Structure 1
């Protein structure tokens, strides 16, 4: 069960990524030249993706992975190269179409099933690991925690996700970002402090926290968190 606020924000994100920002994200996730602002976001996302992949097994043969909010599919493709059977889901049909195109030339023993839909849909099944890279950062803390709990309930292993850490620097950057051209702006994110989020996740005693790492590259600031099965 998802909240009304989760569903409302999901609808806003679907509209933004599918109608407004699809072309920008196509360029951002390629080798095409981008603005200085977007270049820092590209570098930060590359660093974060490498971090999350380093927390997954090198050999994923026989494992099921959920890439929750897969975007253009870069992480899903790498996991499939390690042998994983990947379910890659995103709310944006345009990005899923692009991900399918890019995956056609991949090499590896695994497979990817791309799907347009909600990453919290229980019909997606159960998994050995779940990754949600920068797909929960637009939701309020309560909805984020609920989402992580639901994903953890469907994972036999770790759930790896990212959030926007509440810092003075990030607040200044967001304020400054209002003065940039609209095409360089990202959707509103919901910063939350690491201490508050950790306390909310562990309050019920059903979740254990593992590794964490913050990536800060110019206008990209995101923090990775590992949730372990109890």
Structure 2
């Protein structure tokens, strides 16, 4: 699908179908054993991505691209960053706003909409955790190019890694109607993505997190 169609699918899923599930998963509420592995994996990935940025972010303007329920947003703000937290789902943005500690509220500008919109301005760094995983290679490369062009430092993001198991699951998923299930993740390999980026940005693969049903690869691009 095109970027716009995928974006609409993601919005429908997270803003209407899966809001309550996502709210529970990103809290400390009891969840199933399967979702517990996903929660642990996401916690580990968030820590890895944050490790790519300075501990002291005072004076830095950071884009949390696809902020979801706001866990990354809160940690960035706690380090002193001025955070623009954007998500395509107004419902998730509302959850993130409610959860943000009051003493950090002055550091965060929450916005519902497309994380690529150029009206968000320029940034010192960008974090995009699991928010670009639904896009094909060309759309992903275009998104990363747009973000890196407006970023002085790092754009740290995640993809579904192109492993034999994930490719098998991805191909099988194409055989069934999506109905109200999550939009399909598109696996990527670093070499292929770098080729699509061409000379617009330099790609560096980071660590991979595997925790039950959560399998994600961190990468970063710099202009």
Distance (whole Å) between structure 2 residues aligned to residue 107 and residue 40 of structure 1: 31
Gaps of 5+ in 2: none
Distance (whole Å) between structure 2 residues aligned to residue 164 and residue 51 of structure 1: 16
> Which residue in 2 is equivalent to 1:206?
200
Q: State which of 91, 94, 97 in structure 1 corresponds to 2:94.
A: 97
> Which residue in 1 is equivalent to 2:140?
144
Cα shift at 1:199:
2.3
Distance (whole Å) between structure 2 residues aligned to residue 102 and residue 81 of structure 1: 13
* 1:68–1:131 contact (8 Å) kept in structure 2: yes
Structure 1 residues 88-129: Cα deviation after superposition (integer angstroms, max 9, x where no partner): 0001011000000000x2555970111000001000000000
Distance (whole Å) between structure 2 residues aligned to residue 95 and residue 109 of structure 1: 16
Structure 1 residues 23-47: Cα deviation after superposition (integer angstroms, max 9, x where no partner): 0000000011111221111111111
Cα shift at 1:170:
1.9
Cα shift at 1:210:
3.3
TM-score normalised over the length of structure 2: 0.91
Distance (whole Å) between structure 1 residues aligned to residue 113 and residue 30 of structure 2: 30
CA RMSD of aligned residues (A): 2.3
TM-score normalised over the length of structure 1: 0.89
> Which residue in 2 is equivalent to 1:218?
212
> Which residue in 1 is equivalent to 2:85?
88
* 1:96–1:116 contact (8 Å) kept in structure 2: yes
Is the alpha carbon distance of 1:227 and 1:110 closer, same or farther for their aligned partners in structure 2, counting shifts above 3 Å? farther
* 1:86–1:111 contact (8 Å) kept in structure 2: yes
Matches within 5 A, 1:1-230: 5-103=2-100, 105=101, 107=103, 111-172=107-168, 186-201=182-197, 203=198, 205-229=199-223
Cα shift at 1:211:
5.0
Distance (whole Å) between structure 2 residues aligned to residue 185 and residue 219 of structure 1: 15
Number of residue pairs the alignment of both structures matches: 220
